[in-house]
Amino acid sequence: MKLHISFLLVLLSLHFCFAQKSYSRGEYEVFISKTEKDPKANDAETNFKMGEAYRKSNRIQKSGPYYAQALADGVNEESVYLQYARSLRANQEIEKAKEVLNDFLLKGRDQVLIKQAEREMKNLEKIDDVKNITSFYRVKNLKDINTSSAEYSPAYNDNYLYFTSNRGGGKVYRATGTGYTDLYRVATKGANVNLSTLQQVSPIINDPNINEGSLSLSSDGKWVVFAKGNTGKASGNNNVNLFFSRFRNNTWSEPRPLSVNDLDSWDSTPVLSPDGLTLYFSSNRPGGHGGDDLYVANVDRRGRWVDVRNLGPEINTPGNESFPYVSTDGKLYFSSDGHPGFGNLDLFVATRIGGHISIDNLGKPMNSSADDFGMFQFDITRGFFSSNRKGGKGDDDIYTFVNEDPNLRVVNYYLTGTTITEDDGNKSIILPNTKVRLVDTDDNVVGESFTGEDGTFKFRVYPEENYNLIGEKTDYFTTRKIFSTVGKSVDRSTLKELITNVNFETNVMMDRIVLEKSIVLNNIYYDFDKANIREDAKPVLDSLVLIMNDNPEIFIELGSHTDSRDTEAYNLELSLRRALSAVKYIIQSGVDSDRITAKGYGESIPLVFGAKTEEDHQKNRRTEFKVLQYNPKNRDDALPVNEEESDEYDRFFIDDGTGG
């Protein structure tokens, strides 16, 4: 009898160890199944892990009772309060969620969690405002396409609806207990589905033992970027990464990972901008604002995704932001559980006006207390999204929507231009292959472009905002040009068309860096016989500071010249004092002293020989700078295009086959 009891204890111990290993491997459904069958698995830590397992497998509504029990048993995890409150919010138990957060705010010690709890409390207090949002959306379940399995993340291209689903059965993904997801497509005319055309995307892309999902196609259908990962194997990739494939000779190429991936993080839900030059995606990589954040990257002229940057705290929260989508009118739609909403993921829209980004919940019926995500428009008023709300076919379903706002008027503002320079005869010519950035007054990047042989660029700009256009190219001064839309907005109330496009034009002049070539700084004046910097000279010197900061590769000499109306020796000494005074001002503005040298030339190099008029003397009294040393860094525009290295993007502009 004792032997049987000992054997039973060993089995229970092995059972417990197996469950714990499943949790550590992210096999949450296995952990849940094993733990629920274990009559002794009812301690605080196990209940906390059960709550986490349900939450991390996208079933936060079911996590609440386990978090509650973990709290009752004295679990040593402060995060349990926050997650319990979020589970209560997902189940619309708002007042109970507030009680849990208030309890934590009285006793919590972790400052990061306290800030998250304070934000969560503010969100709960705004839920009545969210409920009262006026909405003109009408939604409908796309019943023809949905099953009891999951269908989500719709994308529309060339009369085909693409989506992700685990409807295929097959091997079970141990994190959720459902099948692995694959990518599908079906012919549609708007929301009218032709089910006879339903098929999986190429088996080159779909792997029965790996989850694929959240696909985005280039406008011509020849490129696809999608999420792929979760083999579940100890030796495999346990994270999700972004992959790309191209359609050539009637087949998709072998998927290859994008360089934007953080291999130790979760990179998912990609979407290309309408012009295919910008990639948005979500990631939980280090350095974000918490949970999944939204990031953006641009493609350079070599076909590489570069300049990955976080979209910032206006959009990203300590919660999760994912499933971005950029509409043709320049608005960013995304899903979040960190902004004020009904609970779980809600759909939001980010709109930029006057340099400020406003975040708006789309309200009901687009949002519900369930997960609402993966929006895609096939025209300005119609589209698709995903939801696992009540009344669907079972799991995630695809829905259609129509925006019936009678006052909907879309105004698109664009700035186009050309990068130019001067040839040896001072004639303006096109400067190709130049990087151009559009930044706001705080130097935040609004847009980025790499010009081609024609030197042209195009940016979407926003109403009532000031910008700087920054041109960058090796062997040329990085150049800024001011542009503004202030006072140039269109009065929407006067518009009759649904869509109005407003175009602005400007060029960016780029000067070549030539060693020892003198460049006159206009309007730097000194009082007679003095060397102190006058107030009216400071803006010009500030512009030189900006040039130095924008061009860290240059080392310059700042030279001062006088007229001839005193002795040569005196003028030489006066010019040096003036040059030293200007250099001191520039160094005090933050420029490294090693990069700038002062020199006085006195009257030795006049621009006007034999000056007699005050105007001629003024031309000779001048301040100049010239580049003494230039150490160019390797910029993307300076590197030759290597076709083998451009496979990542593979030149969206090359017409090399029939689109898919």
Question: What digits encode the pLDDT tens for the residues 377-388?
Answer: 999 999 999 999
Selection from 161, 203, 159, 197 nearest residue 182 by Cα: 203
- Cα gap 237→261, rounded to integer Å: 12
* Long-range contacts from 207-213, C-beta under 8 angstroms, 24+ separation: 207/180, 208/168, 208/170, 208/171, 208/180, 208/182, 209/171, 209/180, 210/180, 211/173, 211/180, 211/181, 211/240, 212/164, 212/181, 212/182, 212/183, 213/152, 213/153, 213/164, 213/181, 213/183, 213/268
Count of Cβ atoms closer than 10 Å to residue 39 Cβ: 7
Q: Can you give the pLDDT at residue 238?
A: 57
Using DSSP bridges, classify how beta strands 466-472 and 435-440 pair: parallel, antiparallel or unpaired. Answer: antiparallel
User: Is 348:327 a contact under the CB 8 Å cutoff?
Assistant: no
- Cβ neighbourhood burial of 575 (10 Å; 0-12, 13-18, 19+): buried
Instruction: Give residue limits of the domains in the chain.
Output: 2-131, 137-403, 410-509, 519-636
Within its chain, how far is the Cα of 456 from the centroid? Answer: 24
At residue 8 the predicted structure's pLDDT band, cuts being 50, 70 and 90, is very low
- Cα gap 555→537, rounded to integer Å: 22
Query: Which pair of tokens denotes residue 98?
Result: 């507030």
At residue 451 the predicted structure's pLDDT band, cuts being 50, 70 and 90, is very high
pTM of the model: 0.82
User: Residue 622: CB partners within 8 Å, gap ≥ 6?
Assistant: 520, 521, 524, 560, 561, 607
User: Is 437:450 a contact under the CB 8 Å cutoff?
Assistant: no
Q: Can you give the pLDDT at residue 90?
A: 87
Q: Can you give the pLDDT at residue 584?
A: 93
Residue-wise pLDDT for 128-158, tens only, equals 999 999 999 999 999 999 999 999 999 999 9
- 137-403: CATH architecture: 6 Propeller (2.120)
The class level of CATH for 410-509 reads: mainly beta
Q: Can you give the pLDDT at residue 201?
A: 94
Give the mean pLDDT of 438-455: 90
Residue-wise pLDDT for 269-319, tens only, equals 999 998 888 999 999 999 999 889 999 998 887 778 888 999 999 999 998
Selection from 574, 474, 476, 494 nearest residue 528 by Cα: 574
- Cα gap 334→326, rounded to integer Å: 9
Judged against a pLDDT cut of 50, whether residue 236 lies above it is answered with no
Judged against a pLDDT cut of 70, whether residue 422 lies above it is answered with yes
Q: Can you give the pLDDT at residue 2?
A: 46
Look-up: residue for tokens 């992700």?
164
- Cα gap 248→650, rounded to integer Å: 11
Using DSSP bridges, classify how beta strands 596-602 and 192-200 pair: parallel, antiparallel or unpaired. Answer: unpaired
At residue 235 the predicted structure's pLDDT band, cuts being 50, 70 and 90, is very low
Judged against a pLDDT cut of 70, whether residue 638 lies above it is answered with no
Give the mean pLDDT of 594-612: 86
At residue 528 the predicted structure's pLDDT band, cuts being 50, 70 and 90, is low
Judged against a pLDDT cut of 70, whether residue 644 lies above it is answered with no
User: Phi/psi class of residue 208: alpha, beta or left (left: φ > 0; alpha: ψ in -120 to 50)?
Assistant: alpha
- Cα gap 284→644, rounded to integer Å: 31
Report which secondary-structure segment, H or E, holds 36: helix 28-36
E strand map for 356-409: 356-361, 372-377, 382-387, 397-403
Judged against a pLDDT cut of 90, whether residue 164 lies above it is answered with yes
Q: Across the chain, which distance is largest between two alpha carbons, in Å?
A: 122
Give the mean pLDDT of 438-448: 90
Selection from 388, 398, 399 nearest residue 57 by Cα: 388
E strand map for 143-252: 151-157, 160-165, 172-173, 178-179, 182-189, 192-200, 211-217, 223-229, 240-248, 251-252
Q: Can you give the pLDDT at residue 416?
A: 96
Choose the weakest-confidence range: 169-178, 285-294, 436-445, 559-568. Answer: 169-178
Q: Can you give the pLDDT at residue 39?
A: 67
Helices (H) and strands (E) in the chain, counts: 11, 35
- Look over the chain and give the mean of its residue pLDDT values, rounded to a whole number: 87
Q: What's the CATH number for 2-131?
A: 1.25.40.10
Q: Who wins on pLDDT, 398 or 2?
A: 398
Judged against a pLDDT cut of 50, whether residue 649 lies above it is answered with no
Choose the weakest-confidence range: 273-282, 563-572, 630-639. Answer: 630-639
- Cα gap 342→327, rounded to integer Å: 24
Count of Cβ atoms closer than 10 Å to residue 518 Cβ: 15
Q: Who wins on pLDDT, 37 or 548?
A: 548
At residue 18 the predicted structure's pLDDT band, cuts being 50, 70 and 90, is low
User: Is 584:596 a contact under the CB 8 Å cutoff?
Assistant: no
Q: Can you give the pLDDT at residue 175?
A: 73
User: Is 174:56 a contact under the CB 8 Å cutoff?
Assistant: no
Q: Can you give the pLDDT at residue 150?
A: 93
Choose the weakest-confidence range: 226-235, 386-395, 435-444. Answer: 226-235
User: Residue 33: CB partners within 8 Å, gap ≥ 6?
Assistant: 177
- Cα gap 166→467, rounded to integer Å: 46
Query: Which pair of tokens denotes residue 606?
Result: 């006049």
| 365 cis-preceded (ω within 30 degrees of 0) | yes
List the beta bridge partners of residue 61. none
- Phi/psi for 519 (5° steps) reads -125, 120
Judged against a pLDDT cut of 60, whether residue 234 lies above it is answered with no
If you write DSSP's letter for every residue of 443-474 in order, what string do you get?
A: --EEEEEE--TT-EEEEEE-SS-EEEEEEE-T
- Cα gap 584→590, rounded to integer Å: 10
Give the mean pLDDT of 362-366: 96
Judged against a pLDDT cut of 90, whether residue 12 lies above it is answered with no
Selection from 419, 388, 523, 406 nearest residue 60 by Cα: 388
The conformation of residue 34, written as its DSSP 8-state character, comes to H
User: Residue 66: CB partners within 8 Å, gap ≥ 6?
Assistant: 47, 48, 50, 51, 54
Query: Which pair of tokens denotes residue 130?
Result: 């969210």
Judged against a pLDDT cut of 70, whether residue 1 lies above it is answered with no
At residue 17 the predicted structure's pLDDT band, cuts being 50, 70 and 90, is low
Give the mean pLDDT of 175-181: 82
At residue 231 the predicted structure's pLDDT band, cuts being 50, 70 and 90, is low
Count of Cβ atoms closer than 10 Å to residue 576 Cβ: 18
Order of all β-strands in the sheet with 356-361: 321-326, 332-336, 346-353, 356-361
User: Residue 366: CB partners within 8 Å, gap ≥ 6?
Assistant: 135, 137, 139, 347, 372, 385, 401
Q: What's the CATH number for 519-636?
A: 3.30.1330.60
Judged against a pLDDT cut of 50, whether residue 332 lies above it is answered with yes
Residue-wise pLDDT for 478-526, tens only, equals 999 999 999 999 998 899 899 999 999 999 999 999 999 988 888 776 6
The conformation of residue 641, written as its DSSP 8-state character, comes to P
Exposure string for 429-455, b = 16+ CB within 10 A, e = fewer: eebbbbbbbbbeeeeeebbbbbbeeeb
The conformation of residue 548, written as its DSSP 8-state character, comes to H
User: Residue 80: CB partners within 8 Å, gap ≥ 6?
Assistant: 48, 51, 67, 70, 71
Query: Which pair of tokens denotes residue 115?
Result: 């800030």
3-state helix vs strand vs coil in the chain, percent to 5: 25, 35, 45
Q: Who wins on pLDDT, 657 or 499?
A: 499
